[in-house]
Structure 1
Amino acid sequence: MALLGTIVNALLIIIGVIVGSFLSKIPESMKDTVMKGIGLTVMVLGLSMGIKSNNFLIVIICIVFGAILGELMDLDGKLNTLGTWLEKKIGGNGTSNISQAFVTATLIFVIGAMAVIGALDSGIRGDHQVLYTKGMIDGFTAAILTTTLGIGVIFSSVPVFIYQGLIALFATQINKLVPEALLDSFIMELTAVGGIMIFAIGMNLIGILKIKVANLLPGLLITAIIVPILYFL
C-alpha cells in the first residue's frame, strides 16, 4: 500500500498534537521560556538546511520573487483570516494564532529530504521505514509545538498527507521521468529555500522580528520551476 507510510506519518502528528494539548496547561513563564527554546532550535535547524544549497543565487531568487508573489496575494492576511474563522468554529474566542501554528508546523514537517525520499520509497518499493521514522520525529515535534502554539498544529497533518501522498502515488512515474541528478538538485535547493523560511519562523518565535513567513511560501513553487530550467540549460 503506497500510502501507508504517509497515513502513519499524518496520524502520528495528530497523536502528537493530542498529547501536547494535555501538556499545554503550564505556567506562562515556563511556556515563554519553552517557546524561546523552540525558537532557537528552529533557527539552528533552518540555518543548517539553508546552507545546503549548491547555488545560493537560486535561494535568493526564490525568496525574493516568492515574497513579491506572497505580498501581492496577501497569503499571510488570508491565512490569519482563515485561522480566526477556524478558531471560532472549534469553540475558541478567535484570538489564538492558528495560522502561525499551521505554517510553522507545515514547513517543519514538509520541507526536507525525508519527506521526498520517504514518499518515493513508499511508492516505488513499498518500504515505509523512512516515513515511519519521520512520523515519530514529527509526532514528538508536534507535541512540543502544541504546548506553545496551540491546537492549530493539527492542521499541518493535511498538507503533509497531500504532499507526501501525491509523491508516493506518482513515485514510479517520477522515478522514470525525472533524472536522478535533477531530483537530487531539486531536493537540495528546496531544502535550502525552506530552511530560510524555517529560520524566519524561529526569529518570530523568539520575538526578534515579525516576518510574514506565509508570504514567502510561493518561493517553494518558484524553486520547482527554476531548478529544472537551470538543469536542462
Structure 2
Amino acid sequence: MSESNPSPEWPRPNWQPGADEDALLQFYVFGKFDPHELVIPAQRYGSPGLPAGVDLRRFQNLELRKWEGYPLSGTLGGIMRDEAPEAYEQARIAPEVLVVRGQLKDSSSLDYLRDTLGVLAALLDIGGRVILDPQIMGLLDAEAWRARYLVPGGAPPRNHVLILRSDEPGSDRSWVHTRGMRKFGRPDLSFRQIPAHELDRAGVLCEKLVEMQALGTRFVAGQALEVEGMQQSLIAQPGGSLTDPEFNNLHVEFRWPF
C-alpha cells in the first residue's frame, strides 16, 4: 500500500474452503474530524472504500466512554495505558471516535483487509490521531501505525498478529500463542510445553504458520506437521471457542514433544 500506486490484489494462494469461519475486523480511530460530512481519501491508498460488511460509525468520545465495552477502560485499557502511555493519552482526550467494524465470509482474497487498511490510513490524513486494534491489544499513534502498515506491497501477516510467550504453570517450559488471526478468518495458534532451548525454533515456526494461515491454509484435527530438525511431528488439535479470553477466537494447538 502506498500513496503513489494502487495496491495490487492480495490473493491467498493457499486458500482452502472449509469451516464456516468468518473474518472479523475491528478498529477504533481516535481524533478530531470535520464536523460535517466525512470525506475519506481512501483511493490515495489504493482502496475503493470499506468492503461490503464493514461499517464505520462515528461517536463522541465522552458518549462512547459510557459504553460497557469502551476499549480504553477495563483490562484492555490498563494494558494500553501501561504499554503506550502517550498514545493512550492522545486517545483519551480525543473528542471523537470512529469505530470500523465488520464480519466477512472467508474468501480467496485479502482485498477486504487491504481496502479497510486504506480507509484507516486515509482517516489518519483527515484528523485521526491514534488507532486501536483490540484483537492484538495494539494502540498506535499515526506515525507508528503508518510505519507498521503502510509497507510497499502490503505489510506482512506478522504485522497484523500479536505473538505472546508465557510460562507453563508448574514447569520450566513455555507457552507461545497468537492473537489476531481472526482478521484472516483463521484460528489462532498455540504451542504448548516448549523447552527453553527450543523457543527460537518455536518463534520462527509460529511466524511461518501465521503467514501460511493468512494466505489460506487450514489445519485439521490430527494433521501431522513436520518441523525441520525435529524427530517427532507436531500434531494439530483444533479447539477452543470465540469467547476464550486468551484468544477471543478459536485456536489450533500443537504440543511440543518431550
Point out the structure with the larger strand share: 2
**TM-score, normalized by the shorter chain, greater than 0.5:** no
Structure with a larger share of its residues in helix: 1
Name the larger-Rg structure.
Answer: 2
Query: Taking CA–CA contacts closer than 8 Å with sequence separation of 6 or more, which of the two structures ends up with the larger relative contact order?
Result: 1
Q: TM-score with structure 2 length normalisation?
A: 0.28
